[in-house]
Structures are given as C-alpha cells and as structure tokens.
Structure 1
Amino acid sequence: MELKDILWTNIFKGRRKKDEAVESILQQVPAFSHLKPKEISLLASIVHRREYKKGEYIFYQGDPGLGMYIILQGEVLIQYTDPDGNKKDLAILRDGDFFGEIALIDESPRSASAICRIDSEIIGFFRPDLFEIIEKHPKLGIQIVLKLAEIIAERLRRTNQEVTQLKTELEALKLALEQTNQK
C-alpha cells in the first residue's frame, strides 16, 4: 500500500461493520425486534461491548442484577450452585442469545452465574441505559419495557407449566409408592 493510499483509507470502515453487527444482533433479540432501524441504531450507540476470555465470569450467582447481556459471538454457560456447593449447568447460550433481562426490571441478586466457555464478545445493556432511554425517548423506553414484560411473563408461564407437571408427576410417584408399601 502506498503512502497516498494509507492517508486516504477510510479509518472508520471497520468500525461501521462492527456497528452493523451489533445492530443486526439487537434486531434479533425479542425485546428489540419490533423496533425501527433508527431506534435500533440509537440502542446500538449506547450498549456496551466487551470481550471475555474462556473461563471468565460475566457475573456470579448472588451478584446484584445490573442488566442484560447479548452474545455477539461466543458461548456462555449458565450455572447454578446449590447451598451445598454443587454446581448444575442450566444452559449453554450461543451467538444471538440473551440472558439477564430481568435485571433491567428488578435489581435482585443473580440466580445463577454466567461463564464464558470460549473467548466471547458480549453486548451489555444495563439498567441506567434503559432509564436514559426512558428519560430521553419515553415512547421507545415504554416499548422496550413492555416487550421485556411480555418475555418475562412468557417465561413465568412456562415455568408454571413445568412446576405443575412436576407436581403431577410427584403426586403420581407418591401414590405409587404408597400403593407399593401397602402390599
């Protein structure tokens, strides 16, 4: 490359590609998928990008909930540690997956840890960022909060169904055990 080419090279070209990648991932997240391109661009301008190394914790179980995370590229393990110190892997999340969205609504402690399984690039969208949007762009902020509420409600419905199913199975096992003991 000649000196002339170096002087006139578009130094912002690489940054725009990264911005487009963030916007593309944000558009795929259910909490933001209903937003217009201009709103997605606004959101992309305030989210936080960070690279994590394999084995690095994004957050620990018990940490205060500060916001949600979206995997731009990589792999994240969600892991629960019971009171006896036993670890249970709950989920493995990959490119485009998101987690921790309840923290945008509620600052309760994290119910599990998030650990990078491979080197990963993660987007963080934090509670103060959401409040800034609500303050500066109330209509957009309300749209995001309502969509988050829908996502949380759907997860709660699924959890209720699973608990009901487990209760039914437990009752059936209990009944079978009682019948076995009566014989």
Structure 2
Amino acid sequence: MDRQLANIPLFAGLEEHELAVIYEGAKVKGFPRNTIVIHEGDDSDSLFLILSGRVTVFLTSEKGREVILNTQSTGEYFGELALLDDLPRSASVMTVESSQFCVISKTAFQKVLAHHPAIALQVIKNLTQRIRALTDNVKNLALLDVYGRVARTLLRLAVECEDEAGKMVVEPKPTHQDIGKMVGASREMVTRIMKDLVVGGYVHVEHGRIVIHQKLPRSW
C-alpha cells in the first residue's frame, strides 16, 4: 500500500521509510456504492485517503433534507477537520461508486503532521481552498436565482474537454437530484433548466457526461 500512498498528492515527496511509518498506522477498507463511510456527528478517530472511487460530502437537516457540499475522488482525502479540532464529524460522506480507502488513525496522522511541516502546510492550504469554495457557495445561494446556481455549479464541476477543443465537460454526469442538493432546488426544477439548456444548444448529454458547447447565459 505504500506505493499507493506515494501517489496521494498529500504525501508527495516522502521517502519510502517515511511512507512505511504511515502504513504502520493505517489499514485499507473497501465500501460498495451508496454506503455511508462516516456520519455527521460521529466521534472522529481517523483520516480517509481515497485510493479509488468517488464520494459525496453532505449535510442533513433534522427533517432529512440533504445538501451536498462537494464530491471527492481518487487521490483526495476527508476527515481531517475533526482530527485537528477534536470535535465530532462535521459532515457525512457516502460512496458514489465502489471505493477503497486508506484509513489512518488519529495518532498516526498527528505524528505525521508533527514530523513533516510540509504536509501540515498542505493540509492548511487544502482547508483554505475548501473554505473559499464554501464561501462562494453561500454567496451563490444568497444572491443568485436557481438558474444561476445551476449554471455556476455546472461550470465549477466542468473541466476542459480533451477530445473537443473549446468545450467543457462534466464527467461523470451528476443526477438532477444531486445537482438539486448542491444548489438548494428541487429535482424537477433542475430537470426543467437542463432541458432548456439542451434545447438552446448550450449543452448536451452523452455517454454519462454533460458537454458544455458555449458560454452559459448569465440569466434565463
């Protein structure tokens, strides 16, 4: 597993013997699709590195309504926040597909941070990026209408299309229900907006992905 750890950006640059120390305090766990890995409010005792697969990070209201904060995939990690402040888990995490994780104990993770300041700085950098993203999401929820929030979310999830220059692609394609959970809207409303974007020639859906052909209109 130490070779897999070497491919995790967080541990890039560590020597083999240093990776071996991390390995000693870790174990590999696999979860099938649609499995809750950690629950919001749980006690925290480990960091999860995603060796393969994809997860969603979400919050649940007392009435059972879910809000998706973000998605993460191979090479990323979650669970570090609760290890740093000793408070319960701040969000729940569920697998979107069959996934495998390297689970590092709290004690081992804190030793890594103590002996490798560069890793601690990387963790801080990643946390600030997530805070900025959450701040942007709050701004969008407060100031944009539903269409604006859907458009911003599509652009945030999109990357440049390798086989079609000048186009952007969202892959894998999130469900309309998941997009709704990201923007605070109903599945039906998202479906209506996506249909309008397809009819307008702005996007099309193919092979499990959304292709964005041109700049999305600022309003609808």
TM-score (norm 1): 0.63
Query: 1:49 and 1:34, CA in 2 relative to 1: closer, same or farther beyond 3 A?
Result: same
1:154 matched to 2:129? yes
Kept in 1: contact 2:2–2:19 (CA 8 A): no
> Is the 1:74–1:118 Cα contact (8 Å) retained in structure 2?
yes
Residue number in structure 2 paired with 1:40: 19
Letter in 1 for 2:121: L
Percentage of identical aligned residues: 23
SS in 2 for 1:64: coil
Q: Offset of 1:165 from its aligned partner?
A: 6.2
Aligned to 1:83: 62
- Structure 1: gaps spanning 5 or more residues: 1-17, 171-183
Deviations 1:114-137 (A, max 9, x none): 112332211112321123446xxx
* Counterpart check, 1:52 vs 2:27: no
Could you say what secondary structure the match of 2:37 adopts? strand
Deviation at 1:106, TM superposition (A): 1.5
| CA apart distance, 1:109 | 2.0
Distance 1:58 1:132 in 2: 24
Partner of 1:114: 93
Kindly tell me: are residues 79 and 153 of structure 1, through their superposed partners in 2, closer, same or farther at Cα, counting changes over 3 Å? closer
Q: CA deviation at 1:70?
A: 1.3
Letter in 2 for 1:151: N
> What RMSD over aligned residues (CA atoms) do the two structures have, in Å?
2.7
Report the equivalent of 1:96: 75
Alpha carbons of structure 1 residues 158 and 91: separation in structure 2 relative to 1, 3 Å: closer
Q: Is the 8 A contact 2:41 2:90 kept in 1?
A: yes
Q: CA deviation at 1:90?
A: 3.0
Partners of 1:68 and 1:80 in 2: CA distance: 19
| Residues 38-71 of structure 1: per-residue CA shift (max 9 Å, x gap) | 4234323432211112232211111123332111
| Dislocated runs of 4+, deviation >6 Å | none
**Shift in Å, 1:37:** 4.4
Task: Decide which structure has greater helix share.
Answer: 1
> Whose relative contact order is higher, 1 or 2, with alpha carbons under 8 Å and at least 6 apart?
1
Residues 69-78 or 36-45, more deviating:
36-45
SS at match of 1:62: coil
- Equivalent in the alignment of 2:84: 105
Contact 1:72-1:95 at 8 Å conserved across structures: yes
Q: Is the 8 A contact 1:59 1:114 kept in 2?
A: yes
Answering whether residue 45 of structure 2 is matched by residue 66 of structure 1, we say yes
Q: Secondary structure at the match of 2:82?
A: helix
Compute the TM-score of the two structures, normalised by the length of structure 2.
0.54
Contact 1:105–1:127 (Cα < 8 Å) also in 2: no
Determine the C-alpha separation between the residues in 2 that align with 1:153 and 1:93: 16
Partner Cα separation in structure 2 for residue 94 and residue 50 of structure 1 = 15
**1:105 alignment partner, SS class:** helix
Bigger Rg, structure 1 or 2: 1
